[in-house]
Structure 1
Amino acid sequence: MAQIFLPHFIIIGAMKSGTTTLYRYLDEHPGIDMSRDKETDFFVAEKGWKRGLAWYSNQFSGDSPLRGEASPNYTKARDFPGVPGRMADTCPDVRLIYILRDPVVRAESQFRHSVLIGDLPPTLEEFPDSHEYAHILDGSLYARQLDAYLEHFDRKAILVLDFKDLVAAPQALMDRVHSHIGAPARIVGAMRFTNDSAMLSRVPAPILRFAQSPTGRIIGGLVSRGMRDRIRGVLLRGKARQSPPFPEELRARLRADLAEDTARLREMTGQAFADWSV
């Protein structure tokens, strides 16, 4: 029977909060084996779970003492419930990393991302009362997401980080990450974003949608990360698309809808998040 490889740590989110940068930093560590696909979505019932444990194990080479992955869909409990339970049943000793960003700014960034890949029309008329608004809001309800994990994991298993520290002091933040997952300390280079909206805006929307479809993900899984980066570089030649300006009244509604949850997050974590807008 083939050996099953499981992760020692998982970056569970949040979307548009630096998870790709964290993944890249950890992938460069000689003692860490990151999943072949940055977002396996294995513990999401509607996505990777149906592929089975053998598929998940094959995401890892098994050549390094530590293994990890990063899937921001793991902290979207409204649309993808049950993730923490499946994770705890499969790898109960896994260490979790949850990197957060100003929840209003994060929601705006996800909105722009959805427009740029063609999942949302470039209009805000129907957005405030839409399923997509609730979906984007859920990704910023950090305390609610933590609630779901704390039903299955000890609080000490979850490292909560602030995106601003990744920007301002990447070495100090990565020192905390390495300590949390039990990896040897390592000097990291300058931070570089690989999934920002400016880059996505130059890739044709149909290609982005195909890349995220089930067929596109299968094909992408057959191509090395280096080759995918080179293909992405070739595609970054199109004219940049623009998302609409985000109106202040909608920003104010987000602040109101996120205020209670954000206050509870500060109590849960003991972190001030002093520069956040809510």
Structure 2
Amino acid sequence: MASTFKIDFFVIGAARSGTTSLYTYFKQHPEIFLPLTKETNYFSKVSSKEKRHSKKPKPDVEYHSKIINNLEVYKDLFHNATSSQIKGDISPSYMWDKETALRIHKHNPNAKIIFSLRNPIQRAFSHYIMNFNTGHESITNFYDAFMADSEGVWGGGNLYKELSLYYESLKQYYSLFPKENIHSLIFEDWTLNKEESFNALFSFLGIKQMKINDLELHNKNKEYANIKLLNSLRNTWLRPLLQNLFSEDKRTSIKNKLFKEANKKTVLSSTEEDKIKELFSEDVTKTSSLIGIDLNAKWNL
């Protein structure tokens, strides 16, 4: 007997384009069920520098990201979903892995697909800042880090350019799913106009419209004081020990108390932006044509 387990919609990415905030907003809707693991990565084949990502999630514990390869473990994440709810999976890696679209289509050819796309240069810069602040990047200059050889690792990797090239990934979904099953969000638009954007999203998903609580963006980059000291501590035997002893929220609380957030925020310089702008020009033009939105105008590229 064929399995009736189906995920109804997928938020594909891109990474550092508000998917954590989308997860938080979607969880406010009573007709949507999302698992406690925000990023399951079940339909992508990815690796991570963090061994904890591959550990089986504990029941009823919240996780930001896991790499789940077992169907029964994946299905169990949705065991609390009711028959009146649609089930969703929000994993940015589904945009990067070129085979994911085919796996999702095999799982549910009628699934709804949602993209959240961000200015590729700003996305890459945000990715770099996140890696630097979490100890996964040691190069202190964004342009040098951007131009460095990539490691090909999803979790903690330096895929700054690769994850900002959208066209080839999106094309896979458009070749498999009908256009009416695909909805594209532009990060710079929906983060400023949430009410209109979410009304359109809920309509797309076939559920009732409702006003969501306007919360601040989640998973924003934090820059800590004494970041070099913090990262030197992270790269010792202490890191796995602390990860086993404390939850992610508790570790964040400890960091905030011991290192505090720096007052100065790192910004992308116009010189750095101009150096890499041309690298994305063709991809943005092709992506614009594919999704029917003039991204060059929106992003001034």
Aligned to 1:23: 23
Aligned to 2:140: 123
Q: CA 1:126/1:66 → structure 2, altered by over 3 Å: closer, same or farther?
A: closer
**Partners in 1 of 2:108 and 2:67 — Cα distance?**
14
Match of 1:69 among 89, 102, 116: 89
2:210 matched to 1:186?
Answer: yes
**Partners in 2 of 1:128 and 1:154 — Cα distance?**
36
Deviation per CA, 1:167-189, whole angstroms, max 9, x where unpaired? 22101101111111112111112
Following superposition, the deviation at residue 40 of structure 1 comes to: 0.5
Aligned to 1:140: 164
Q: CA 1:41/1:230 → structure 2, altered by over 3 Å: closer, same or farther?
A: same
Q: How does 1:181-260 map to 2 (within 5 A)?
A: 181-198=205-222, 201=224, 229=249, 232-233=252-253, 235-237=255-257, 238-240=259-261, 246-260=268-282
Aligned to 2:288: 266
Deviation per CA, 1:225-259, whole angstroms, max 9, x where unpaired? xx855664454323336887645444223211100
Question: SS of 1:68's equivalent?
Answer: strand
Q: Is the 8 A contact 1:104 1:140 kept in 2?
A: yes
Larger radius of gyration: 2
Q: CA 1:127/1:164 → structure 2, altered by over 3 Å: closer, same or farther?
A: closer
Deviation per CA, 1:79-108, whole angstroms, max 9, x where unpaired? x33111111111222111101111111111
Deviation per CA, 1:53-90, whole angstroms, max 9, x where unpaired? 111111112225211121111111xxx33111111111
Q: Which amino acid aligns with 1:92?
A: P
**Partners in 2 of 1:208 and 1:27 — Cα distance?**
34
**Partners in 2 of 1:100 and 1:192 — Cα distance?**
19
**Partners in 1 of 2:67 and 2:126 — Cα distance?**
27
Q: CA 1:190/1:6 → structure 2, altered by over 3 Å: closer, same or farther?
A: same
**Partners in 2 of 1:134 and 1:268 — Cα distance?**
27
Aligned to 1:153: 177
Q: Which amino acid aligns with 2:98?
A: P
Aligned to 2:11: 11
Q: CA 1:264/1:89 → structure 2, altered by over 3 Å: closer, same or farther?
A: same
Aligned to 2:57: none
In terms of mean alpha carbon deviation, does 245-254 or 83-92 score higher?
245-254
Question: SS of 1:135's equivalent?
Answer: coil
Q: Which amino acid aligns with 1:87?
A: I
Q: CA 1:170/1:256 → structure 2, altered by over 3 Å: closer, same or farther?
A: same
In terms of mean alpha carbon deviation, does 31-40 or 236-245 score higher?
236-245
**Partners in 2 of 1:229 and 1:66 — Cα distance?**
28
What is the total number of aligned residue pairs between the two structures?
264
Q: CA 1:121/1:90 → structure 2, altered by over 3 Å: closer, same or farther?
A: same
In terms of mean alpha carbon deviation, does 234-243 or 141-150 score higher?
234-243
Deviation per CA, 1:122-153, whole angstroms, max 9, x where unpaired? 42346413216982112111222211222322
Question: SS of 2:184's equivalent?
Answer: strand
In terms of mean alpha carbon deviation, does 189-198 or 125-134 score higher?
125-134
**TM-score, normalised with respect to structure 1:** 0.81
Following superposition, the deviation at residue 119 of structure 1 comes to: 1.2
Following superposition, the deviation at residue 209 of structure 1 comes to: 11
* Unpaired stretches in structure 1, ≥5 consecutive residues: none
Aligned to 2:61: none
Q: CA 1:134/1:20 → structure 2, altered by over 3 Å: closer, same or farther?
A: closer
Q: CA 1:246/1:25 → structure 2, altered by over 3 Å: closer, same or farther?
A: closer
Q: Is the 8 A contact 2:44 2:93 kept in 1?
A: yes
**Partners in 1 of 2:276 and 2:188 — Cα distance?**
20
* Unpaired stretches in structure 2, ≥5 consecutive residues: 48-65, 152-156
Identity %: 23
Aligned to 1:53: 71
Q: Which amino acid aligns with 1:276?
A: W
* Structure holding more helix per residue: 1
